[in-house]
Amino acid sequence: MSVVVRRIRKLAKKVPTVAGTSFWTAFSSAYTFGATLMVSMALFGGLGYLVDDWLGTLPTFTIGLAVVGIFLAFRVLIKDITRRRSAIK
């Protein structure tokens, strides 16, 4: 068994559960948000790069659409947090 897996299991035993959530539930939420952020930045940034290449305006649309991707990822995070909070009550 790898060292990382042992450390995560040891950490999971130490972390108390809060309102019915476990360490793995919180880890899953954080991982999902990170993946959503990376995919949305890459997707919108890549689309912006293609538009910039087509129009010859590098890096205007690349930066603008990457910021839109970041905004949408945080919007998904906030919706997920409020949905989970209302499910706990």
Q: Dihedral sign, CA of 8, 9, 12, 14?
A: negative
Number of domains in the chain: 1
**Residue 56 pLDDT:** 93
> What is the rounded CA–CA span in Å between residue 38 and residue 58?
21
**Residue 13 pLDDT:** 66
**Residue 84 pLDDT:** 77
Q: What is the pLDDT along the chain (89 residues), one digit of tens a residue?
A: 577 777 777 766 665 555 566 777 778 888 888 899 999 999 999 999 999 999 999 899 999 999 999 999 999 989 888 887 777 66
**Residue 38 pLDDT:** 93
Host domain of residue 15: 3-88
